[in-house]
Amino acid sequence: MKYSFKPGSVSWPVVGLILSLILIIGGAFSLYYIKGRTITIQDISSASKIAGLNFSYQEKKIMLPALKDNLASYKKMRNIHLENSVTPALIFNALPAGFDLRAVETDGQFIYDDPVSLEVPESEEALAFYPVTDLAWLIKNRKISSEYLTRIYLDRLKKYGPKLHCLVTLTEDLALKQARHADEELARGIYRGALHGIPYGLKDLFAVKGYPTTWGSPIYKTQVLEQEATVYKKLTEAGAVLVAKLSMGELAMDDVWFGGQTRNPWDPNQGSSGSSAGSASATAAGLVAFAIGTETWGSIVSPSTRCGVSGLRPTFGRVSRYGAMALSWSMDKIGPLARSVEDLALIFRAMIGPDGQDRTVFDLPFSYNGRSDLKKIKIGYHKKSFDEARHHQDKYLAVLDVLRSLGLELQEIELPEIDPEIISFILNVEAAAAFDELTRTGQDDLMVRQGPEDWPNIFRQARFVPAVEYIQANRLRSLLIEQFAARLKGIDVYLTTSGGSSLLLTNLTGQPTVVVPCGFDDKGHPLSISFIGNLFKEGLALRLAKAYQQATGFHLKHPDLSLLDQLKDAHRPEEED
């Protein structure tokens, strides 16, 4: 039988109403079914593919009740708000089996080259690029005041900070208050040490009361934390003066934040790399005497390389992370960026030690002797990284020649057989946990970068890493630690090209790294070399790197900031009222 509708044979408004009701009811049912349906065997089949597993029908059927119970527990867990500062009960330990902490040099000896005499340069520009060692001498001997030096850096931050996109918040009132206090103490004969009255900048993931701590993201642009980072407290106790909170890649990735891309002072058309982007850029441009950064996977080494400054990523467990944004609890480390290796040693000495908050921190003193016999340091080099350098190989090989010219012997070493890349997702999983709420609430859509290699997508992907595989990856990490300890047996420090295979490896195993400039490419961009120490051997790595700096002088060069005058101020920092 054939049916047809003819005009006038039915009431079209009634048909429209009926169809609308069908669509509404159907849509509501679909929404209820999709959101409220229980876990099915088909869901288990799909999830099994993601995990690379295969279960029988009967095995899947038996799983269902427990999986439903787990999901109910997840929902209850999510009703409990977790601040980023809450750490997991599991604590990473970088020490290989049999590691004797008593064997670590614990004499606490600290010897550096204090200038005999200095004159104040006529140019404030020249003074701004002085290393901490020289600035400290000038302040201690009342040649300049801390307030005078602080005002120089504040003016430079106002002038160049917006052009380099390296400045988030200028802490002018606090800085002048701290500088005047430093001068008053010195007038009363109180001298706190080499950082007394020295202006510096903090990566904007460290909490400072009364100031925004933005983590580089528009989501947290107005966030003010009612705590103070231990690093800030320790530097304040050492007499240092905080002049600025400096840019970082959003949630500690690369060099792009809500204020744009932080720029390299040597080439303003190039990003400064990250995520300690502003710390490296501001230090290289002479906007601060030094800066504090963090590293999880290259975030001190990479921007130090790009901007031609000296950087120290310490042994895991040396510096408290209390009051700092957590990205990866088992990989995050805090370290200084400065203009010379000896500056790094002075700053690092003030930062270390437990605070009763970060349970990963060891209570071990830091020994450094800038005049010790270099030949007593057992030195290695990762030959493969030099052989496989695709660009500027001659610059890297020249580093080895310089050290040999000092009468030093270099022993070839090999890295562990386990490829660290296969367990690099440890970082992604911990980061996804640290910012889980962003993924579940959809706030990750507000982040600046939304590409496949950016945090929003990484956080989502990490939700599909099985908990068992995360644990297995950390078990492999234990093997990596043991293998690496065996390969470094008898070695205090080894050299490698910065950013090579050692970068991820040593971030997973916890070894310290000192990175310093080793020349320039054909376009005038800085290059760097890494001195990687055995656990808690920062002092020896710094000593060897200092010898290299003294023999070459690359660290004494600084960028021509006249190139910045052609740039527009794309971002104005927030300032105090």
Active site residues: 203, 275, 299
Look up residue 62 and give its amino acid.
Answer: I
Distance CA 162, CA 71 (A): 48
**Could you tell me what percentage of the chain is helix, strand and coil, using 3-state DSSP and rounding each to the nearest 5?**
45, 15, 40
Instruction: Evaluate the omega torsion of the peptide bond into residue 275 and state whether it is cis, within 30 degrees of 0.
Output: yes
Distance CA 561, CA 160 (A): 8
User: 96-102 long-range contacts, Cβ below 8 Å, gap at least 24?
Assistant: 96/481, 96/482, 96/484, 96/485, 97/482, 99/485, 99/535, 101/362, 101/364
Distance CA 352, CA 365 (A): 8
Residue with tokens 């760097």: 528
**DSSP code of residue 88:** P
Q: Alpha helix locations (H) across 330-442?
A: 341-351, 383-387, 393-405, 425-434, 436-441
Distance CA 65, CA 44 (A): 12
Distance CA 140, CA 414 (A): 46
Distance CA 203, CA 501 (A): 26
Q: Which two tokens stand for residue 372?
A: 């010790």
In what helix (H) or strand (E) does residue 450 lie, and over which residues does it extend?
none
Strand segments (E) across 77-198:
110-111, 167-170
Could you count the other beta carbons within 10 Å of the beta carbon of residue 43?
14
Beta bridge mates, 575 = 170
Could you count the other beta carbons within 10 Å of the beta carbon of residue 236?
19
Residue 393 — φ and ψ, nearest 5°?
Answer: -60, -35
Residue 212 — φ and ψ, nearest 5°?
Answer: -60, 145
Residue with tokens 């950082």: 195
Handedness of CA 97, 102, 107, 108 (dihedral sign): positive
Distance CA 317, CA 334 (A): 10
Residue with tokens 């042994």: 315
Is residue 264 exposed (0-12), middle (13-18) or buried (19+ Cβ within 10 Å)?
buried
Terminal-to-terminal C-alpha distance of the chain: 83
Beta bridge mates, 519 = 527
The torsion defined by the Cα of 80, 85, 89 and 92, in degrees rounded to 10, comes to 150
| Residue positions counted in the chain | 577
Rg (CA), the chain: 28
Distance CA 508, CA 503 (A): 9
Distance CA 3, CA 302 (A): 74
